[in-house]
Structure 1
């Protein structure tokens, strides 16, 4: 029996946020129905192998809570059956404060959902407007109260720092407001300017000014300290949890464990093979209807490639690379395989190494992307 994480991508939003480069569209009613039909078909095919055991379920997007209630009920009905059959240890759904109604929340809870991940992003109205979010600060508190009333076991709040116009004071305000609402998980992401997004176009045309990198670093370190003081343990670059609140689905991903992705643009990894589904909803639906494969980007990594990817993912976690575990998994001693990168980043104070662990330092955490790139493509011991 192989444990897997099951991810379902819902690619629909009421409108696209200016910073977002995830695949999402504003659909017609008929396209939503066609999408649900196709996803249910792909789910049945993906789980037809009775050697697979679903350990975690994560429904992301897009905005899953934006689905019309009838469509959400169809999707959750099938996932509820999977949940009753496989007994996953976690069942997460992403939600937006503006679209999570009481009826939808009850529907999710009755389907077996245990964890809501809510895209708060900021508790400052002007910052939410800068991000093109549809909700206001008061909607976040109302959404959290609804989650509590319906009885979900776990709640995550997403926050973004580095928003144009944001200050240390307003960032501190958002951190305090999030902590005061009592979630057991908080994720803090630095704003990124992805190619082709409206926010990037506004930056490039001089309409907005990005924050200074030193200020962003100060905001990130402020989040680490503020959340630690409130009982949250940082377990990944951007993720903080109270005891028992870690996202088990994402932990599977960072540990390089098998997972299946269902829906347009969803990715999976199983038996050493990695793939991503076709992006377009119309193309996805057409392929499902005609019995064609939905995967278009298929890759089987060689041993060195798998080792590099495993190192990159593990360095994102505060536990870092456990050397004995890594060698048992990949066949390589990471201290030898990545000797040059380790030496370089120890010298600059970004890595710490002991007899069985390679991990980012506090100084290295804000520069993690630059560090992990040096581990992604090892040249061999």
Structure 2
């Protein structure tokens, strides 16, 4: 670590709110805007490396809308909407594959189906989704990691049979809480018996990696009830566990009933995070990020979350993002039900998917911010030599104020030495403050100007 970042007494720094924003991608989608030039995909991808692409297919349907959810999804799919959506997904896949060209080999290194709830689709529709990924895009499902998100109600035997037969290597089940009163408080009504039955079906199906999502900070949750959910999850020996702090975001049901700036809630969530982290570490799990824990010896399913900073991402579906080195693009984003329905309706009516219509250019120092941010939020940290090889400079030289502040707060691991920039345990606990601190002024301004809809 550079002497310029020698830590000062952490107490000298004013405290910050630990839960500001979950940074799973940068720039955030609320910084995207309509692209006036509507660039052709063929031009965007012409000079991009295509040897290790990631494929993401987005299914924007759920059987219920959870109180905390700000994902792009709608409840139900009346009539033949899922058929028409898959028709549009097929048209988009054809256009994207043509845009990737044939001058050099196009290879996919990983695939994922997310949402929404991909398993909202019936078994035959999941077959078609896999066909689109394989036959249209050329992603060799069965030869690469394939992760699929599911809910307890939709993780049925026939759907799981299809996914396993088509090469699914990871199923992520959104449980959130094994305590029924907590599930209701999070506006996610479910019976524990149904959750346990779904987990049994996933294990019986033989999927190599089971991930269970849990949430802490729910109204009425206590250390004892949180421990009960953790132990209920651990009884299934999942290969992965994600522990998410509860957020109450705009346009979600919980936003109107939760004091989002409550210091007591922040303290509760931090305490529950530390309890969960320590319990999982003592139970034989390794921490890979603030949220993700992997059972020791469990198979690694493809690149970790930050790998798309160096590899391109192809997103199919109206809620999916695509990443090139110079542009991140998608379709419009909304949370409110009327706006989501309108965007889905426009998507299924689209005939020409050959151009990017909504996104954000990655210019100036944004590639450096993105690389640093997404690497630093991983528990392993970032080899400083990798940064230097990519950008010809050092993170300390490029971001002295931000890294100096992290050091002053005790958020950087001094023991990592100069060869690695890594968060300390306390820094990792404050990942949702570390990430936003690295946002550029331009991205902050765009996010602040975004009108939630």
After TM superposition, the score normalised by the length of structure 2 is 0.77
Asked whether the equivalents of residues 164 and 211 of structure 1 are also in contact (C-alpha less than 8 Å), the reply is: no
- Higher mean alpha-carbon deviation, 96-105 vs 138-147, is at 138-147
Q: For 1:249 and 1:297, how far apart are their aligned partners in 2?
A: 26
Equivalent in 66, 79, 84 of residue 17 of structure 1: 66
Shift in Å, 1:309:
1.2
Residue 166 of structure 2 is aligned to residue 117 of structure 1: no
What does residue 375 of structure 1 align with? Answer: 438
What does residue 231 of structure 1 align with? Answer: 284
Asked whether the equivalents of residues 151 and 175 of structure 2 are also in contact (C-alpha less than 8 Å), the reply is: yes
What does residue 273 of structure 1 align with? Answer: 327
Asked whether the equivalents of residues 5 and 252 of structure 1 are also in contact (C-alpha less than 8 Å), the reply is: no
Equivalent in 49, 54, 57 of residue 8 of structure 1: 57
Asked whether the equivalents of residues 59 and 93 of structure 1 are also in contact (C-alpha less than 8 Å), the reply is: yes
Shift in Å, 1:267:
0.4
1:2 aligns to what SS in structure 2? coil
Alignment of 1:65-104 (within 5 A): 65-81=119-135, 85=140, 88-104=143-159
Give the structure with the larger strand fraction: 1
Shift in Å, 1:41:
1.8
Residue 108 of structure 2 is aligned to residue 47 of structure 1: no
- Higher mean alpha-carbon deviation, 365-374 vs 187-196, is at 365-374
What does residue 183 of structure 2 align with? Answer: 128
Q: For 2:216 and 2:299, how far apart are their aligned partners in 1?
A: 22
Q: For 1:303 and 1:22, how far apart are their aligned partners in 2?
A: 29
What does residue 335 of structure 1 align with? Answer: 396
Residue 424 of structure 2 is aligned to residue 361 of structure 1: yes
Q: 1:329-380, CA deviations, whole angstroms, 9 ceiling, x for partnerless residues?
A: 233311211222222221221112421112211112222222233333399x
Shift in Å, 1:149:
1.2
What does residue 382 of structure 2 align with? Answer: 321
Residue 210 of structure 2 is aligned to residue 155 of structure 1: yes
Q: 1:162-202, CA deviations, whole angstroms, 9 ceiling, x for partnerless residues?
A: 00110011011111111111110000000001012111112
In structure 1, list runs of 5 or more residues that go unmatched.
Answer: none
After TM superposition, the score normalised by the length of structure 1 is 0.91
2:161 aligns to what SS in structure 1? helix
Q: For 1:109 and 1:340, how far apart are their aligned partners in 2?
A: 49
Q: 1:280-330, CA deviations, whole angstroms, 9 ceiling, x for partnerless residues?
A: 11111222x2x1556332323124110011111111101122211112123
1:60 aligns to what SS in structure 2? strand
Equivalent in 295, 298, 302 of residue 248 of structure 1: 302
What does residue 107 of structure 1 align with? Answer: 162
Alpha-carbon distance change, 185 to 360 in structure 1, aligned in 2, over 3 angstroms: same
Q: For 1:373 and 1:284, how far apart are their aligned partners in 2?
A: 31
Q: For 2:200 and 2:439, how far apart are their aligned partners in 1?
A: 42
Q: Aligned pairs, how many?
A: 374
Q: 1:89-144, CA deviations, whole angstroms, 9 ceiling, x for partnerless residues?
A: 31011011111111111011111111101101111000111122243222222112
Alpha-carbon distance change, 219 to 111 in structure 1, aligned in 2, over 3 angstroms: same
What does residue 307 of structure 1 align with? Answer: 368
Higher relative contact order (CA 8 A, sep 6+): 2
2:277 aligns to what SS in structure 1? helix
In structure 2, list runs of 5 or more residues that go unmatched.
Answer: 1-49, 334-342, 443-453
> RMSD in angstroms over aligned alpha carbons?
2.3
Alpha-carbon distance change, 193 to 236 in structure 1, aligned in 2, over 3 angstroms: same
Asked whether the equivalents of residues 119 and 158 of structure 1 are also in contact (C-alpha less than 8 Å), the reply is: yes
What does residue 33 of structure 2 align with? Answer: none
Asked whether the equivalents of residues 255 and 310 of structure 1 are also in contact (C-alpha less than 8 Å), the reply is: yes
